[in-house]
Each structure stands twice: as structure tokens, then as C-alpha cells.
Amino acid sequence: MGFLPGWLIFAAIALVFWGITGVTQKLSTNNISSELSFIWFAYAMIAISVVLALTVPMRYHVRPLIFWLAVAGGTLNGLGALTSFTALESGGKASIVISLISLYPLVTVALAVTVMHERLTIMQAFGIVLAIIAAILLSLEPS
Amino acid sequence: MLTHLPMSSPTMEPVASRTANIAGLPRWLFFSLLTIVVWGVWGAVSKMASNGIDADTNQVFFTVGLLPLILFVWWSPRTRGGKNRKAGIAWAFLTGILGGTGNIAFFHAFVIGGKASIVTPVTALFPLVTVILAITFLHERIGTAQKFGLVLALVAIYLLSM
């Protein structure tokens, strides 16, 4: 895999695992409320963290800013899950809500370029636009 | 990540109080836009945190950030009942294990130098896998738009990896 950038391999792993959750989440909310589903999702996260804390060397002594950024990450991500469920349960059509939410990387890109001063090539910028369009199209279920 | 969008509306019926406007927007639109912002900021925050910690520690701190939300959701009366609680809970737990494992890979992509502006759009293509699995295992049918989306997603990943 020497011709692939390292980050791409790990991004692909995340993509596959999160992609599978698209199915398992659906199987869960077919049977229980999104709230109960969220709680058990979070319990699994706690289980993973306990296993990690016991088996992998941890680096707890980090700068406070880094600690709070990482904690805020969990809160923001979980909050997004709850708000997306609320959107779906407030009368929004699933394919429209999910397509709309697929725009979230645009916010990341905007922050990355303005706040974190990341630079993009023309090809990468084009790739981002295509990725967003692809995510929207993938959310459109046949009627 | 808690990706976690069901591919169709959950089984619960919306109640009247859930359809009122917020800030002049229909409730569903308001919460969709809010989701875009919080998940978008999450991508940036994850990269910033990854400048100072490894992926495993990041995942542990991420879980700390989830705790207040568990307490918040805990009080919902909707956590009671359900069509098949055992199955629903088992699938939810599996979703968390898979989601958490995905998180660690996502964080690690940042640790080894992936840019927030590239890694986040690539990982946001996860519906690519969901759609393929839905066709294969749930025998769902795929529309022309989704077929086009599948191809476009692969082209996008190729361009972003250059």
C-alpha cells in the first residue's frame, strides 16, 4: 500500500466502520427509540474507553486546551447525533434531512482554511465539491 | 463518530410539540442546520486536538464529552418501551463499538498528518458503504441518483488523495 498516503488508509477504515453503522443504527431504531439507541451507543463508547485505558498506554498529561478540545469533540459529535434525530422526527423527509446534513464537511473545510490555515490544491478543492455532491446523492433514496 | 443517521425515519410518530417553528425556521430545518454546524466544528476540533494527543487518548476524552449527553437523554420518557428492546439495544451497542473504532481511525488519520479539510470530506462519504451494505444484506433497491453518487464518491476520494 506504499502508493497510498497513510492518512487515506485510516480515513478509509473510518469510512468503512461508520458506513456499517448506517445499517446497524437503522436496525436499532427500527426496534427502539433514538434516545434509548443513543444511550446504548454511548455505553459502547464507554466500554471501548475502559478497554483502551486498561490495555493501551495513555497520555493523560496533555495541555488543558488539547484536553478540552478532545472532550468538546465528544459533546459536539453526540449533540449532532441528537439534533439529527430531532430533525428526522420533526417532520423532515429523511432523504432531504440526511442530504442536507451531508454538507457538514463544508463547515470543517471553512474552519480548516480560515482558522487552521490549511491550504488546498485546485484538484483537492474540486475533490471536496465532488465529495459533497456524492454524499448528497447517496442520501437520496428511490421513491 | 455517531453517524448514526437512520436511512429512513425512525418508527416513532412526531408529536405536535415537535413541529413548531424555531427562530422562524421549520423545526426539522433548524435541527438539520444545527447538525451541520456541530458536526462541522467537530471535524476541525478533532484535528486541533490531534496535534497534541494520540488517537486512543482522544477517544477516551471524546467519551468524557459524551457523558453529560447521556444524563440529558436519560430523562426522556421515550427511553422506555420499544418494539424489541433486546434487539434494538444490541444493535445500538454494536453501532457504538463500530462508531468508536471508526473514531480512532479518524483521529489517527489526523495524527499522522491528514488535513481536516481533506480527511473530513473523505470520511463523510461513509454512506457509500451504507448503501453498498443495504443493497447486499438488506436487499434494498438503489436509485439512479445513488448509483451516480457511488461513482462520484470514488472519483472524489481519488482527487482528494492526490
Q: How many Å lie between the alpha carbon of A55 and the closest alpha carbon of chain B? A: 10
Q: Per-residue pLDDT tens for B135-154?
A: 888 888 888 999 999 999 99
- The predicted pLDDT at position B19 comes to 59
- Cross-strand bridge partners of residue B25: B22
Q: B29 and B97, same structural domain?
A: yes
Model confidence at B35: pLDDT above 80: yes
What's the mean pLDDT when you consider all of chain A? 93
Q: B44 and B79, same structural domain?
A: yes
Model confidence at B4: pLDDT above 60: no
Query: A133-142, B13-22, B115-124: which range is least confident on average?
Result: B13-22
Q: For the residues B126-140, what does the mean pLDDT come to?
A: 88
Model confidence at B73: pLDDT above 90: yes
C-alpha cell, B47 = 484535528
Query: Given pLDDT bands bounded at 50, 70 and 90, which one contains residue B78?
Result: confident
User: Considering chain A, what percentage of its residues have pLDDT values greater than 90?
Assistant: 79
Domain extent, residue B85, equals 24-113
pTM above threshold 0.80: yes
Q: B77 and B28, same structural domain?
A: yes
Least CB–CB distance from A19: residue in B29, B79, B128: B128
Query: Given pLDDT bands bounded at 50, 70 and 90, which one contains residue B21?
Result: confident
Q: Does the beta-carbon distance from A104 to B124 stay under 8 Å?
A: yes
Block residue for cell numbers 448506517: A22
Q: Which of B34, B97, B137 is nearest to A76 (CA)?
A: B34
Distance, in Å, from the CA atom of B40 to the CA atom of B1, rounded to the nearest integer, reads 12
Q: B154 and B83, same structural domain?
A: no
Q: For the residues B79-108, what does the mean pLDDT come to?
A: 95
Least CB–CB distance from A28: residue in B91, B125, B155: B91
Q: B131 and B87, same structural domain?
A: no
Model confidence at B7: pLDDT above 50: no
Q: B102 and B58, same structural domain?
A: yes
State which residue of chain B sits closest to A115, comparing Cα positions. Answer: B44
Query: Given pLDDT bands bounded at 50, 70 and 90, which one contains residue B8?
Result: very low
In a domain, B16, yes or no: no
Q: B106 and B31, same structural domain?
A: yes
How many A-B residue pairs are in contact by the CB < 8 A criterion? 539
Q: Per-residue pLDDT tens for A13-69?
A: 999 999 999 899 999 999 999 999 999 999 999 999 999 999 998 888 899 999 999
Distance, in Å, from the CA atom of B97 to the CA atom of B114, rounded to the nearest integer, reads 23
Q: B90 and B65, same structural domain?
A: yes
C-alpha cell, A25 = 443504527
Model confidence at A1: pLDDT above 90: no
User: Considering chain B, what percentage of its residues have pLDDT values greater than 90?
Assistant: 69
Q: For the residues B9-13, what does the mean pLDDT come to?
A: 48
Within chain A, residue ranges assigned H as helices are 6-29, 34-55, 64-88, 94-101, 104-114, 122-139
Q: How many Å lie between the alpha carbon of A68 and the closest alpha carbon of chain B? A: 8
Q: Does the beta-carbon distance from A94 to B74 stay under 8 Å?
A: no
Q: Does the beta-carbon distance from B14 to A48 stay under 8 Å?
A: no
Distance, in Å, from the CA atom of A115 to the CA atom of A131, rounded to the nearest integer, reads 22
What is the total count of domains within chain B?
2
In a domain, B120, yes or no: no
Q: Which residues of B touch A32 (CB under 8 A)?
A: 82-85, 88-89, 92
Q: B137 and B95, same structural domain?
A: no
Q: Which residues of B touch A26 (CB under 8 A)?
A: 6-8
In a domain, B14, yes or no: no
In a domain, B118, yes or no: no
Q: B46 and B105, same structural domain?
A: yes
State which residue of chain A sits closest to B108, comparing Cα positions. Answer: A10
- The predicted pLDDT at position B9 comes to 46
Last residue in a domain, options B72, B90, B113: B113
Q: B95 and B68, same structural domain?
A: yes
Q: B71 and B147, same structural domain?
A: no
What's the mean pLDDT when you consider all of chain B? 89
In a domain, B64, yes or no: yes
Least CB–CB distance from A91: residue in B14, B59, B146: B14
ipTM of the complex: 0.94
In a domain, B39, yes or no: yes
- The predicted pLDDT at position B1 comes to 63
Q: Does the beta-carbon distance from A39 to B66 stay under 8 Å?
A: no
Q: Residues 6 or more apart from A61 whose CB is under 8 A from it?
A: none
In a domain, B43, yes or no: yes
Q: Does the beta-carbon distance from A113 to B95 stay under 8 Å?
A: no
Cβ(A48)–Cβ(B63) under 8 Å? yes
Model confidence at B87: pLDDT above 90: yes
